[in-house]
A and B are shown apart, each in its own frame.
Chain A
Amino acid sequence: MKEYKKPLPEIQPWSKKFWEGAKQHKLLIQECRDCGAKIFYPRKVCSECWSPNLFWSEASGKGKIFSYSVTMAGVEDKFVEDLPFVLALVDLEEGVRMMTNIVNCKPDEVSIGMDVEVVFEDVTEDITLPKWRPVTR
């Protein structure tokens, strides 16, 4: 594997499961057993009710683009080789929103409201980033 120079997520103890799931190509969402909240990003306790009684469920991996921007310039050197790339906010079916990249398509094909699905990019031996691509019908 080519050396990966871009920033890796700074993982917290309570988000470890999310990244372990991503490594197994599963998109995990933290949920609260007490109040039923779906929590993103992961917290130490439920952000709604402070319950420590949390569990993880696998998301469907389907969502819609809430907004996006095609990044053309103005990035750190380590991101330059990726230009242009699509930065996006995706609303998951489960009701949480994640920041990501839209991949496997031309940047000018991306639009708000587009149906997308998760695709896992193994960037290092330990870290996998969940990215999203247009759903092909």
Chain B
Amino acid sequence: MSKGKLAIIGVGEVPTGKYPERRRWDILYDVCMQATRDAGIDKKDIEGVIAVAPQAQPRLTSEISFGKIPEELGLSGCKDVCMCNAGGASTTNCLRLAEQWIESGLAKIVLIPHVTVHSTIPVQDVINFFATAGIDTQWEYPFGATFNGMLAMVAQRYMYETGTTAEEMASTVVALRKWATLDPNSMFYQKPVTLEDVLSSRMVSTPLHSRECNVLADGGGAMLVTSAEMAKDITDTPVYKLGHGGRYDGACNTIRKDFFMREGWQDAARDALNEAGLDKDDIDIFEFYVAYPFNQLIALEAVGITEPGESGKFVMEGHTSPGGKCPCSTIGDACGRGHTGSGVSMANYIECFRQLTGKAGERQVPDCKYILATAAGGSGMNTLMTVWGRDIP
């Protein structure tokens, strides 16, 4: 599908946090109904459901894979249903598939939902899942590799090559949590942290302190998408998908040639911006979903906002924070939202919709026209970039 053919017309979301009493299907009902009401359509107009694969929740995954969402919600107009799994990059692929369903005429309006409730998964199951998700069971796991450990090695090498200081690394957390402070849907709403808080938190895997790693959270969100043409009839404020770029970087952290994924980021961003007919200087917000806060630094360099090694200073000076000249990750990325498994990128796209329709509350970036959003799966198996706009340039 070419530029500006797909549009988001409505979103729904529940706040992230630890809510063991909130059941997965409650959340699914809530977010899907919210998105439908937000778009102002009738539920019978939803002709396809493409769900984001929940991680580490096998029963829910089976229920969704085998078509329970349209039936539960009584979507009598639904023509097909499926689920996309690419870890943290799932939502981006749901959008991609929705484009095909819409363009081919299978469905006019597609619902893309996600839910994850980590807090009721038995602790051992969570550990078992994340111990080997994106970690090679032959060449990495026997040596005690964890997500934290693998990303810590990226951080260590990054500091070695660029001379970035521990304070600069930690400043990414402070910046992201400033955004989260302004987000009523974040578990860290009104809970800022200081540089001192980050640097005095427990060391988990050198050089990463616990506050530089992720906290798992429960959450859910949904989007309704349709063709740009139809979107204009449904709402005065559609948000258009303008470009897409992707690169596969490799499953196994150990042998990934592009160790910092800089080249993958650069290439994917270039493709997405080219398709949109925009330059990075046209972008008002960079919605980076990079999982670990320090990766914001690599992202800034890869997209060309700063020179390699300069991004730490840039973040420390507050340029990516609320009120800064280069707002980045305005819901605070996984660090500010709590990590909802495959849900962080869903939250990011919902935020794109809010910012571009002027509904981002205290986080609103004035006169926001264009956003570059990123996603990645596993330990960094891929880099997916999309460009969004409130108009089609």
Is A11 at the interface (CB under 8 A from chain B)?
A: yes
Q: Which residues of A contact B153 (CB under 8 A)?
A: 67-69, 87-89
How far is it, in angstroms, between the C-alpha of A54 and the C-alpha of B99 when the chains are bound? Answer: 43
Q: Which of B142, B146, B202, B255 contacts A71 (CB 8 A)?
A: B146
Q: Which of A10, A85, A89, A112 contacts B144 (CB 8 A)?
A: A85
How far is it, in angstroms, between the C-alpha of A76 and the C-alpha of B149 when the chains are bound? Answer: 13
Q: Which residues of B contact A112 (CB under 8 A)?
A: 156-157, 160
Is B104 at the interface (CB under 8 A from chain A)?
A: no
Is A45 at the interface (CB under 8 A from chain B)?
A: no
Q: Is the CB of A6 within 8 A of B206?
A: no
Q: Which residues of A contact B160 (CB under 8 A)?
A: 67, 112
CB interface residues, B 116-165, toward A, < 8 Å: 127, 131, 136-146, 148-150, 152-157, 160
How far is it, in angstroms, between the C-alpha of A69 and the C-alpha of B140 when the chains are bound? Answer: 14
Q: Is the CB of B141 within 8 A of A7?
A: yes
How far is it, in angstroms, between the C-alpha of A96 and the C-alpha of B254 when the chains are bound? Answer: 10
How far is it, in angstroms, between the C-alpha of A75 and the C-alpha of B156 when the chains are bound? Answer: 19
Q: Which residues of B contact A68 (CB under 8 A)?
A: 153, 156
Is B205 at the interface (CB under 8 A from chain A)?
A: yes
Is B252 at the interface (CB under 8 A from chain A)?
A: yes
Q: Which residues of B contact A85 (CB under 8 A)?
A: 144
Q: Is the CB of B205 within 8 A of A71?
A: yes
Q: Which residues of A contact B203 (CB under 8 A)?
A: 70, 72-73
Q: Is the CB of B154 within 8 A of A67?
A: yes
How far is it, in angstroms, between the C-alpha of A9 and the C-alpha of B127 when the chains are bound? Answer: 18
Q: Which residues of A contact B166 (CB under 8 A)?
A: none
Q: Which of A41, A67, A74 contacts B204 (CB 8 A)?
A: A74
Q: Is the CB of B143 within 8 A of A99?
A: yes
How far is it, in angstroms, between the C-alpha of A73 and the C-alpha of B208 when the chains are bound? Answer: 11
Q: Is the CB of A70 within 8 A of B154?
A: no
Contact residues on B (Cβ < 8 Å of other chain), bracket: 35 or more
Q: A71-B149, A87-B205 known; A10 and B254 CB under 8 Å? A: no
CB-nearest residue of chain B to A129: B142
CB interface residues, A 79-105, toward B, < 8 Å: 79, 82, 85, 87-89, 96-101
Q: Is the CB of B148 within 8 A of A99?
A: no
Is B7 at the interface (CB under 8 A from chain A)?
A: no
How far is it, in angstroms, between the C-alpha of A69 and the C-alpha of B152 when the chains are bound? Answer: 6
Q: Is the CB of A7 within 8 A of B142?
A: yes
Is A51 at the interface (CB under 8 A from chain B)?
A: no
CB-nearest residue of chain B to A98: B254
Q: Which residues of B contact A56 (CB under 8 A)?
A: none
Is B276 at the interface (CB under 8 A from chain A)?
A: no
How far is it, in angstroms, between the C-alpha of A112 and the C-alpha of B213 when the chains are bound? Answer: 22
Q: Which residues of A contact B210 (CB under 8 A)?
A: 73-74
Q: Is the CB of A101 within 8 A of B206?
A: no
Q: A9-B138, A72-B205, A74-B148 known; A89 and B127 CB under 8 Å? A: no
Q: Which of B140, B206, B255 contacts A70 (CB 8 A)?
A: B206
How far is it, in angstroms, between the C-alpha of A26 and the C-alpha of B137 when the chains are bound? Answer: 21
Q: Is the CB of B127 within 8 A of A41?
A: no
How far is it, in angstroms, between the C-alpha of A85 and the C-alpha of B202 when the chains are bound? Answer: 16
Q: Which residues of A contact B156 (CB under 8 A)?
A: 67-69, 112
Q: Which residues of A contact B205 (CB under 8 A)?
A: 69-74, 87
CB-nearest residue of chain B to A66: B157
Q: Which residues of A contact B254 (CB under 8 A)?
A: 41, 89, 97-99
How far is it, in angstroms, between the C-alpha of A87 and the C-alpha of B202 when the chains are bound? Answer: 18
How far is it, in angstroms, between the C-alpha of A74 and the C-alpha of B206 when the chains are bound? Answer: 12
How far is it, in angstroms, between the C-alpha of A11 and the C-alpha of B146 when the chains are bound? Answer: 20
Is A35 at the interface (CB under 8 A from chain B)?
A: no
How far is it, in angstroms, between the C-alpha of A75 and the C-alpha of B203 when the chains are bound? Answer: 13
Is A8 at the interface (CB under 8 A from chain B)?
A: yes
How far is it, in angstroms, between the C-alpha of A28 and the C-alpha of B136 when the chains are bound? Answer: 19
Q: Which of A8, A98, A101 contacts B139 (CB 8 A)?
A: A98
Q: Which residues of A contact B144 (CB under 8 A)?
A: 6, 71, 75, 79, 82, 85, 87, 101
Q: Which of A12, A74, A131 contacts B146 (CB 8 A)?
A: A74
How far is it, in angstroms, between the C-alpha of A122 and the C-alpha of B45 when the chains are bound? Answer: 63
Q: How far is the CB of A59 from chain B (nearest CB, A)?
A: 15
Sample of 20 more A-B contacts, CB < 8 Å, known A69-B156, A69-B205, A96-B255: A6-B142, A7-B141, A9-B141, A10-B138, A12-B138, A67-B153, A69-B208, A70-B203, A70-B206, A73-B204, A75-B146, A85-B144, A87-B145, A87-B153, A88-B153, A89-B153, A99-B140, A100-B143, A129-B142, A129-B143
25 pairs across A/B with beta carbons < 8 Å? A6-B142, A9-B141, A10-B137, A15-B138, A41-B139, A67-B156, A68-B156, A69-B152, A69-B153, A69-B155, A69-B156, A69-B206, A70-B203, A71-B148, A73-B202, A74-B213, A75-B146, A87-B143, A88-B153, A97-B254, A99-B254, A101-B143, A112-B157, A112-B160, A131-B143
